[in-house]
Structure 1
Amino acid sequence: MPKVLELVQPTLEAAAVRGIFSLPQPVRRLLAGRPIRLDDQELALDAQLLLKLQRLSGQEQLAAATPELARAGMRRSTKITSMFAVPGVVVADRSIPTEAGELAARLYRPRELTEAGPLLVFFHGGGWVIGNLDSHDDLCRFLAKHAGIRVLSVDYRLAPEFPFPAALDDCIDAYRYAVDNAAELGTSSELVAVGGDSAGGNLATSVALHATRSGLVKPVFQLLIYPAVDATTRRRSRELFGKGFLLTDGDMNWFMDHYAPDLDVRHDPRLSVLLAEDLSGLPAAHIVTAGFDPLRDEAEAYAQRLADAGVPVIARRFPDLIHGFANLRPIGGRFQEALFEIVGTLRAALSLQKT
């Protein structure tokens, strides 16, 4: 019986969450409490209500006593927020050979897409410690479906079992695999983009920098959703939003202590990409930030550095949202609105590359 309850409970919790978020706006406001305003921004009602539910459930941190418990927590959250798959997407499991072994991957394609076109190599977030193909399955399906592209999601190795630079090495190998096997993946080597959220955004921009400097075919585009780009400096947004907005200051310390426990390593520009001396020549980028995110200021500083280096950048802050909102799309509302805008930008940028 306990195992049956473990299987059924996420379904019941998912139904409860959907029911709460479908309530009339005045009722949702009553449940969430008075609007939260900070740094000349007002938190979206949907985000505030979600945080309220998170506090009531007692799950206010992504970190846990052990990596295994944190990973289990993310698996549970994924089951609650992603009960129904995005329709019209064909998904195929892949295996990417690397010197360290085989990497699991998934290739997503809109059902109606039969001709060759752009491919986005996607690296999931999770602080380099948690997350997997399942945790970002909904996001990759959504990107593929609504951007009209193929998406290759990569299951790179996680810390602390495999600390820096193992995850980056895997992601470079996966990108190289996509370029070398472009035709078989339904694309061409000139139409391979990279993207990711949070830690995955860090990996994506590091892959782009490596490819640009090493002579690999460089990515055609970078989609960087609230990326982590500097492990050496505490900025104002981390002080303002380091508690109570999903990703906490404690979470960030916990993740980094597992991924790069050696403090000197954190200055390596392969990890802290913002510290790279030369960013010229990198692919055009769409950098997405959330107003109530501890990572906001470093990501926006990176967007400015790219622009100063002559790299075309579309920088978009969603001032009313929190870190992790891309994974909250199945709840709908403001989270889905924001993701539709991101996908529209991605679709337009990649369409220009085909002409």
Structure 2
Amino acid sequence: MPNVLDQVRPMLEAAAVHGIFALPRPVRRLIAGSPIRLDDQELALDAQLLLKLQKLSGQEKLSAPTPELARAAMRRGTRINSAPIDGVVVADRQIPTEHGDLGARLYRPRELTGISPLLVFFHGGGWVIGDLDSHDDVCRFLAKHADVRVLSVDYRLAPEHRFPAALDDCLDAYRYAVDNAAELGTSSDAIAVGGDSAGGNMAAAVCQIAARSDLTDPAFQLLIYPATDATTSRPSRKLFRRGFLITEEDTTWFMDHYQPDESLRDDPRLSVLLTEDLSGLPPACVVTAGFDPLRDEGEAYAARLAEAGVPVISRRFPDLIHGFVNLRAIGTRFQEALFEIVGSLRAGLSLQKR
């Protein structure tokens, strides 16, 4: 019986969350409390309501006593996206590497039968948590609405596999996509890379490494609230250090698992912002959230790309929080932002065709 309850409880929790978000706006505002304003920004009601529910549930951090517990919590949170986006064909893949096969998942809009751009996507989760399922909804959404194929990569996680294992896997996955472009329904010059948070960090690193090697350059880079500097704590890290989904304690916990040696955190493969020369990199869309500890370093990276002559769309969603792309199913504001990101991806890829 306990096993049955364990299976049912997440579904009941997801139904309760959806029910609360479906309440009239005045009721949702009453539950969420007075508007939160910080750093000349006002938090979106959808985001504030989610944070209030998170606080009431006692789950105010992404970190946990062990990585296994943190991963389990993220899997439970994934149940919020209870109804998969339709119109998308999904197939599991295996990517061969010298460290063994990597799990992957290929997404294709059902109506898309010809050649299309491909986005190789690296999920977020601080290099410690997250998997193909945690970002299944995001990848379905990007594939369907950007009208592209998406290859999501299940790279190795820390602390079992520390830096640069995850990045090595992402590089292998990108190389696999280039080498097998025709079989994946794309061409080698129409492959973009992207990811959120830690995934955005590794997408940026893949672009940098490709530009300085014989690896084909990605056509575009989609960096969603990326981690870019593991050496410095910028103002947003302190300003939003707690109460906004990801905490300062979380960011420290993740990095201590991924690269515990502080003296090595200036490696530009990790702290991509510290790379001296950013010229010649693919066009980029850098997305940040106003109420996010990683906001300032993401925007600093966008500024440095622009200074180096790289075409950049730098977009801050001032009313949103870290992790909002995983929250599409419960709040209209999160979905609105995702649609705008899709527009930037489509625009960036279409420019590459000319």
Distance 1:242 1:113 in 2: 43
Matching residue of 1:78: 78
Matching residue of 1:103: 102
Matching residue of 1:223: 222
Distance 1:176 1:126 in 2: 23
Secondary structure of the equivalent of 1:326? helix
Matching residue of 2:19: 19
Distance 1:66 1:7 in 2: 22
Structure 2: stretches of 5+ with no match in the other structure: none
Matching residue of 2:256: 257
The alignment status of 1:322 with 2:321, answered yes or no, reads: yes
Secondary structure of the equivalent of 2:243? coil
CA deviation after TM superposition for structure 1 residue 332, in Å: 2.9
Matching residue of 2:111: 112
Secondary structure of the equivalent of 1:98? coil
The alignment status of 1:60 with 2:21, answered yes or no, reads: no
Secondary structure of the equivalent of 2:328? helix
CA deviation after TM superposition for structure 1 residue 351, in Å: 1.9
Distance 1:185 1:129 in 2: 28
**Aligned positions of 1:1-355 closer than 5 A:** 1-79=1-79, 81-355=80-354
CA deviation after TM superposition for structure 1 residue 279, in Å: 0.4
Secondary structure of the equivalent of 2:101? strand
CA deviation after TM superposition for structure 1 residue 215, in Å: 1.8
Distance 2:29 2:324 in 1: 19
Secondary structure of the equivalent of 1:301? helix
Distance 2:15 2:347 in 1: 35
Distance 2:11 2:54 in 1: 17
- Say what the alpha-carbon RMSD is for the aligned residues: 0.6
Secondary structure of the equivalent of 1:230? coil
Q: Calculate percent identity across the aligned residue pairs.
A: 77
Q: Which amino acid aligns with 1:322?
A: I
> Any runs of at least 4 consecutive aligned residues in structure 1 with deviations exceeding 3 A, and if so which?
none
CA deviation after TM superposition for structure 1 residue 264, in Å: 1.6
Structure 1: stretches of 5+ with no match in the other structure: none
Distance 1:134 1:265 in 2: 31
Q: Which amino acid aligns with 1:14?
A: A
Secondary structure of the equivalent of 1:113? coil
Deviates more, 1:133-142 or 1:343-352: 343-352
Secondary structure of the equivalent of 1:267? coil
Q: Which amino acid aligns with 1:45?
A: L
Distance 1:338 1:9 in 2: 30
CA deviation after TM superposition for structure 1 residue 333, in Å: 1.2
CA deviation after TM superposition for structure 1 residue 353, in Å: 1.8
Q: Which amino acid aligns with 2:51?
A: L
Secondary structure of the equivalent of 2:183? coil
CA deviation after TM superposition for structure 1 residue 295, in Å: 0.2
Secondary structure of the equivalent of 2:84? coil
Q: Which amino acid aligns with 1:237?
A: S
Distance 1:279 1:112 in 2: 38
Q: Which amino acid aligns with 2:98?
A: E
Deviations 1:242-297 (A, max 9, x none): 10000000000000000000112200000000000100000000000000000000
- TM-score computed with the length of structure 1 as normaliser: 0.99
Q: Which amino acid aligns with 1:19?
A: G
- TM-score computed with the length of structure 2 as normaliser: 0.99
Distance 1:195 1:173 in 2: 15
CA deviation after TM superposition for structure 1 residue 345, in Å: 1.1
Q: Which amino acid aligns with 1:59?
A: Q
Distance 1:214 1:353 in 2: 21
